[in-house]
Amino acid sequence: MTLATGSTIGIVGGGQLGRMLAVAAAQLGYKCHIYAPDKAPPAAEVAAYFSRSAFDDEAALARFGGEVDVATYEFENIAAGPLSALADHAPLYPPRAALEIAQDRLSEKDFITRLGGRPAPYAAVSTPDELDAAVARIGAPAILKTRRFGYDGKGQARIMDTADIGAAWEAVKGAPCVLEGFIRFDAEFSILLCRAPSGETALWDAPENVHAHGILDHSSVPAAPALRPAIAEAQALARKVADALDYVGVLTMEFFATAEGAVFNEMAPRVHNSGHWSIEGALTSQFENHVRAICGLPLGATDLVVPEVTMQNLIGEDVTRWRDILSDPAAHLHLYGKRQARPGRKMGHVTRLIGPR
Ligand code: AMP
């Protein structure tokens, strides 16, 4: 079914991802309604409507569902109950099953393993004894990650040797966790895929990603040629995941490239920071194709428009350089309109297209 132009897309979450989705939706003639608990979220500044309510307010989400023609999300930490209240009133894409799997690092790794993918060695941990046993089995170094509510390196503690076990358990405050073996990777990359309700699938060139302190620092496209075999393997897995979930919208999967191939790190059932380069760098951006998919429109081509594209995040105080960045006439600057530049906060990004068009 095609959503008529002029219809309203509901977006749960009001951050920069919602902001860029709303801009892409407006270009196609749709209106956006943002749902977020914050007073003045970045997405609401560029959207037609804004509802300010908590992510766990079932009644408010049901009301919101009644006011939109289709709903999507740019934020993953919505509990199953409130989510079904929303899904009872509006078609919700990507499907709820994708969100529920990706919300929990353990079910995500189990799911990927079932489909033939390869995560880092892992073990479920919910007591100090289980942590001791998991470290004995997996070895150190390892990373203890909370199963839920972790992002940008939050909710994680490194265990370099057994002496760190106590501090790691305290750092996660006894939350249910997974322990992951430390992967000595050559590089990190992500797969960005968009699937339409018809099953039509589009893949962008896989960006190579560099993280600093657990947060994405920059992405480069295309990835180094040495990563091609791992990327091909990861793309095949991403297609399987999307088909298994009857997925609609953009799906992101993050991987480590190792000598043995692609090791799955995590997935996000949404548009992703490592795909921001596609706004100027691809014929159709991740945001536009996500809108097209959830509105039942044909997907746009995802080819690169130049041989090489880079995207640099502006984190915290980096954003104070925005005026200097603009002195490079080829820089595409995106600012998210956040007032406070707290350390670790994503404030904007810069995309550069390299080579002839
Ligand atoms: P995450 O939030 O789980 O994606 O972790 C953020 C970043 O920490 C990743 O992109 C990696 O750079 C690093 N990291 C996470 N898990 C592992 C692992 N098992 N082995 C090595 N590095 C990791």
Are 175 and 285 part of one and the same domain?
Answer: no
What are 189's strand-pairing partners?
A: 208, 255
Which residue's C-alpha comes closest to atom 8 of ligand 1? 214
- Count of structural domains, the chain: 3
Query: Measuring CA to CA, which residue among 161, 165, 113 is closest to residue 144?
Result: 165
**Residue 77 has what pLDDT?**
86
304, 16 contact by CB (below 8 A):
no
DSSP helix/strand/coil, 290: helix
Regarding whether 194 and 155 lie in a shared domain, the answer is: no
> Is the same domain home to 260 and 203?
yes
Q: What is the 139 CA–ligand 1 centroid distance (Å)?
A: 16
Q: Are 37 and 18 part of one and the same domain?
A: yes
Place of tokens 């920069």: 16
- CA atoms of 94 and 110, how far apart (whole Å): 20
DSSP 86-103: HHTTS-BSS-HHHHHHHT
Is residue 102 domain-resident? no
Q: What strands, in cross-sheet order, belong to the sheet with 31-36?
A: 49-52, 31-36, 8-12, 70-73
Residue 115 lies in a domain: no
Place of tokens 């954003």: 319
Are residue 33 and residue 159 in the same domain, yes or no?
no
Q: Which atom of ligand 1 is nearest the CA belonging to 183?
A: 20
Residue 209 pLDDT: 98
Coil, helix or strand for 355? Answer: coil
Answer for the pair 10, 90: CB distance below 8 angstroms, yes or no: yes
Residue 129: Cβ within 10 Å count: 9
Q: Compute the distance from residue 255 Cα to the ligand 1 centre, in Å.
A: 9
Spell out the per-residue pLDDT of the chain, length 357, in tens: 899 999 999 999 999 999 999 999 999 999 999 999 999 999 999 999 999 999 999 999 999 999 999 999 999 888 888 999 999 999 999 999 999 999 999 999 999 999 999 999 999 999 999 999 999 999 999 999 999 987 666 789 999 999 999 999 999 988 999 999 999 999 999 999 999 999 999 999 999 999 999 899 999 999 999 999 999 999 999 999 999 999 999 999 999 999 999 999 999 999 999 999 999 999 999 999 999 999 999 999 999 999 999 999 999 999 999 999 999 998 999 999 999 999 999 999 999 999 998
Residues 313 and 215: beta-carbon distance below 8 Å:
yes
The reply to whether ligand 1 has any atom less than 6 angstroms from the CB of 143 is: yes
- Ligand 1 centroid, distance to 1 Cα (angstroms): 39
Same domain, residue pair 244 and 278: yes
Which CATH number covers residue 28? 3.40.50.20
Structural domain boundaries, residue 137: 121-181
Atom of ligand 1 nearest to the CA of 181: 19
Residue 108 in any domain: the answer is no
Question: Residue 309 sits in a domain of what CATH number?
Answer: 3.30.470.20
Cβ atoms of residues 60 and 51 within 8 Å: yes
**Are residue 222 and residue 344 in the same domain, yes or no?**
yes
